[in-house]
Copies of this chain bind each other. A is one copy, B any other.
């Protein structure tokens, strides 16, 4: 457990305080030991002011100026993906630890540039917001695979279901913004890279706008030939559900079935469906921030780094191509520096 010297409290700038960034500000302020939000920046000055005043922080309109500010030790990036590249590179230049929400950048090429730039520094500074790596169930599943108690891992079956998304959330975004989580989960659980992708689009739900394939089945192949299936369905109308089943040589393991309160009445038994990502992963988000803060104070990266952000981008780029062609697309992964 880290020692707690009040003097070492980390002063943080949060860039972008929409739903995700605002949630991070709350968690940093109310639940993250050793951290304090000192600067808030947002494209909307009004929104930034509202969020900052609630936690005693100040507003800096220019995000790159916020990165460089004297009362900022570290940076959380929750702005739109298109701004990530410039903001992350500014953090690297300023030598400040940064927790960047996924995607690291919006193309595999620029993500790899971040990897190369960071590799020239004397220590890594970038952590990417793959918060499932802090979820107790994923950690338990990874441990089960790592110990080899069930034999070699052969197949992973994933399901990723959201209750609803806006109409502009099309098939491509389903791959780049949603499936990207299974890309990282598969890499994290299996501890190897993904080398090829197929995307199968079948009958779409009537809730999907015309032209959007929701749900889809994505199939990944890993370096060692393992198959990973992923059902991505973002308009279930009722549930946020994330489930993963491992099929190994001598057994299987499943996470995501856990249910707390069970009631029985009116002819039915059961429980409440997890309504959103906070109910399912709220603790993982808090643990992610705490791990990042603890890491930053020790001069380390406490979670998935720039390479993980790049690798995910390379796979989702291939997935978008697989959706377009209907065939199998190989992932073009640059060498790791």
Contacts and interface: CB of A to CB of B under 8 A. Distances in A.
Contacts of A299: none
Interface in A1-57: 1-6, 9, 26, 29-33, 36, 54-56
Contacts of A233: 154-155, 247
Interface stretch (A86-94, A116-124, A134-142): A134-142
B238 A154 contact: no
Contacts of A247: 215, 231, 233
Contact of A2 (B30, B151, B224, B283): B30
Nearest to A271: B269
Identical copies of this chain, number: 4
A221 interface: yes
Interface in A122-181: 136-137, 140-141, 144, 149-152, 154-155, 157, 159, 161
A273 interface: yes
Interface residues of A, number: 84
Interface string A103-117: 000000000000000
A268 B149 CA distance: 14
Given A29-B4, A202-B155, A238-B250, A271 B270 contact: yes
Interface stretch (A68-76, A203-211, A309-317): A203-211
A137 B260 contact: yes
Interface string A202-244: 1111110000000101010100111101010100111101000
A267 B236 CA distance: 10
Contacts of A205: 151-152, 154, 249
Contacts of A239: 251-252, 264-265, 267, 269
Contacts of A1: 26, 29-30
Contacts of A278: none
A4 B203 CA distance: 47
A336 interface: no
A229 B227 CA distance: 13
A265 B283 contact: no
Contacts of A224: 203
A29 B219 CA distance: 45
A258 interface: yes
Contacts of A2: 30
A273 to B, nearest CB: 5
Given A31-B33, A238-B251, A267-B272, 10 more contacts: A5-B56, A136-B260, A140-B261, A155-B231, A157-B159, A157-B231, A202-B226, A205-B249, A255-B261, A269-B273
Nearest 7 pairs of A and B residues by beta carbon: A270-B270, A251-B265, A202-B227, A203-B225, A140-B261, A4-B29, A253-B263
